[in-house]
């Protein structure tokens, strides 16, 4: 059943495979909660790793950590393998690297503020267009003045500098209001309270560390711990989009390789598109279209195909559709939309089957020869070889201790950047201003003495004038009496 040039997914009226040569043409895994999306992601990750393709995925519920552990014998898994004729079924574990933006359940992932850029930063902070414009000005000033933006304290210091120089800056770059700067600073404070400041800094992530192959030729599965991260959906979606953009910008063109260089799973994909501004949606569409030529396959995982914009949905050639519920008119329309995305099968009504699929069953359509979608098949998905469910904290720690990136990202590097430069600049300016001022006497006694001497001199002059006047009057009186 297992083949070197494809990933075995399960069996319909025939074995269903995902051809590796078309795996970088992206895909979609959809279905209601509890219908088996996570297991489908797990068996895809196993298949890619076995074929020597590195994988990156976000572990929203903690279940995907089981990829690092040997599968456990269970009767229902054996029965499933026998039912679909999966004679090659074996328990196995796969090379895994655990990552965590907060550094608690995996190796820290960091990037710099500059690498994130103003567009994605605005998305993460949920800024309005005016505030986004001010943030763009701040980034431009940092570029023009050679200020490194590495972490959040650099950005905070830069915003203070922009506010202090707002009149000067407005003439050159455009209007900058203190109110907008204050709003951005408040948004940064909220971000820091969510521990997002741990994500910004150095050592920044090297994309090559997500594309490692082990000694046996199997691709490493990079698993991002996202259970805490999901409490900040803006940060989660922005981070994954940043990572996808970095792959697009850094990897060279490879055309149509025999297999992907990396497969990227975007779980809870609806968070990326919810209330996203038009400029961001255009960026997502551009990256998804063009990253295929870099050898990267992107697979969105969400509840409903309607969660993904049509312009992006059109790029997703490989589809796995689990059951959808149709209790309301809106849900019924969603089922019809999902059914229309498949190449019809004359043996059944796709719309009707979607609502009747059991757990572990799915409608599968993948790209075949010349990139043509296969006829949709009602498929019993294969059982995973690795553990179903999360690993323990001790198992996770052992995996991290054996990690090929151990010691690379664990310590924070804080080199001189905008914060230190602006702090020194402000200190130098204060010193210069102090030198220009007249130096007041620092001797209070001397000061009092100077004041007293002045008063005495004034008194002496007054007494002298008074004494002179009295003398003149006495002389005049004597003269009058003599006459």
Distance, in Å, from the CA atom of 325 to the CA atom of 163, rounded to the nearest integer, reads 53
Burial (CB count within 10 angstroms: exposed 0-12, middle 13-18, buried 19+), residue 179: exposed
Which CB contacts under 8 angstroms, 24+ apart, belong to 226-231? 226/58, 226/59, 226/60, 226/267, 227/59, 227/60, 227/61, 227/62, 228/100, 228/102, 228/104, 228/105, 229/58, 229/101, 229/102, 230/60, 230/268, 231/194
My answer on whether omega of the bond before 396 falls inside 30° of 0, hence cis, is no
Is the Cα torsion angle 22, 24, 26, 31 positive or negative in sign? Answer: positive
Pairing of strands 262-267, 6-11: unpaired
Task: Please list the pLDDT of the chain residue by residue as tens digits (483 residues).
Answer: 788 899 999 999 999 999 999 999 999 999 998 899 999 999 999 999 999 999 999 998 889 999 999 999 999 999 999 999 999 999 999 999 999 999 999 999 999 999 999 999 998 898 999 999 999 999 999 999 999 999 999 999 999 999 999 999 998 999 999 999 999 999 999 888 888 888 999 999 999 999 999 999 999 999 999 988 888 888 888 898 899 999 999 999 988 899 999 999 999 888 888 877 787 888 888 899 899 999 999 999 999 888 898 889 989 999 999 999 888 888 888 899 889 889 999 999 999 999 999 988 999 999 998 889 999 999 999 999 999 999 999 999 999 999 999 999 988 888 999 999 999 988 888 888 888 777 665 555 544 444 556 665 666 666 666 666 665 566 555 655 654
In 394-469, DSSP assigns E strands to none
Distance, in Å, from the CA atom of 267 to the CA atom of 14, rounded to the nearest integer, reads 28
Distance, in Å, from the CA atom of 212 to the CA atom of 199, rounded to the nearest integer, reads 22
Sheet holding 55-59, edge to edge: 15-19, 6-11, 377-381, 361-365, 318-321, 27-30, 296-302, 262-267, 55-59, 221-225, 96-100, 107-108
Q: Which of 110, 103, 100 is nearest to 226 (CA)?
A: 100
Kindly state the helix (H) or strand (E) to which residue 363 belongs, with its residue range. Answer: strand 361-365
Residues 31, 401 contacting (CB under 8 angstroms): no
Q: What is the CA radius of gyration of the chain?
A: 35
Cβ partners under 8 Å of residue 483, min gap 6: none
């Amino acid at each position: 059943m297992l083949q070197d040039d494809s990933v075995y997914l399960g069996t319909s009226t025939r074995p269903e495979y995902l051809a590796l040569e078309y795996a970088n043409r992206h895909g979609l895994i959809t279905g209601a909660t509890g219908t088996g999306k996570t297991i489908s992601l797990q068996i895809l990750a196993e298949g890619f790793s076995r074929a020597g393709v590195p994988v990156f995925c976000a572990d929203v519920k903690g279940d995907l950590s089981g990829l690092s552990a040997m599968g456990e014998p269970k009767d229902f898994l054996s029965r499933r393998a026998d039912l679909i004729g999966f004679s090659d079924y074996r328990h196995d574990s796969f090379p895994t690297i655990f990552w965590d933006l907060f550094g608690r359940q995996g190796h820290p992932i960091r990037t710099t503020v500059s690498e994130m850029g103003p567009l994605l930063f605005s998305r993460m902070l949920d800024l309005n267009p005016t505030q986004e414009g001010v943030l763009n000005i701040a980034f431009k000033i940092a570029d023009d003045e050679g200020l490194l933006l590495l972490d959040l304290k650099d950005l905070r210091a830069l915003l203070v500098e922009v506010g202090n120089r707002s009149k000067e800056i407005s003439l050159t770059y455009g209007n900058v209001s203190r109110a907008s700067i204050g709003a951005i600073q408040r948004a940064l404070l909220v971000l820091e309270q969510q521990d997002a400041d741990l994500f910004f800094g150095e050592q920044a992530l090297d994309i090559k560390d997500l594309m490692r192959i082990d000694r046996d030729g199997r691709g490493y599965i990079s698993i991002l711990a996202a259970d805490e991260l999901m409490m900040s959906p803006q940060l989660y979606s922005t981070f994954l989009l940043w990572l996808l953009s970095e792959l697009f910008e850094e990897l060279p063109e490879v055309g149509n390789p025999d297999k992907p260089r990396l497969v990227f799973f975007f779980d809870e994909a609806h968070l990326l598109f919810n209330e996203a501004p038009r400029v961001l949606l255009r960026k997502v569409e551009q990256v998804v279209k063009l990253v295929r030529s870099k050898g990267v396959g992107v697979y969105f995982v969400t509840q409903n195909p309607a969660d993904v914009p049509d312009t992006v949905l059109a790029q997703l050639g490989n589809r796995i559709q689990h059951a959808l519920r149709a209790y309301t008119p809106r849900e019924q329309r969603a089922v019809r939309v999902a059914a229309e995305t498949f190449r019809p099968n004359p043996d059944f009504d796709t719309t009707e089957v979607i609502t009747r699929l059991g757990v572990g069953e799915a409608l599968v359509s993948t790209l075949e020869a010349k990139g043509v979608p296969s006829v949709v098949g009602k498929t019993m998905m294969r059982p995973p070889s690795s553990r179903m469910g999360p690993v323990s904290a001790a198992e996770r720690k052992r995996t991290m201790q054996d990690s090929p990136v151990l010691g690379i990202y664990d310590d924070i590097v804080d080199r001189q950047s905008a914060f230190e430069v602006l702090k020194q600049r402000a200190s130098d300016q204060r010193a210069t201003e102090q030198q220009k001022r007249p130096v007041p006497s620092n001797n209070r006694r001397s000061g009092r003495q100077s004041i007293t001497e002045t008063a005495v001199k004034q008194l002496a002059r007054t007494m002298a004038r008074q004494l002179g006047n009295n003398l003149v009057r006495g002389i005049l009186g004597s003269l009058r009496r003599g006459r």
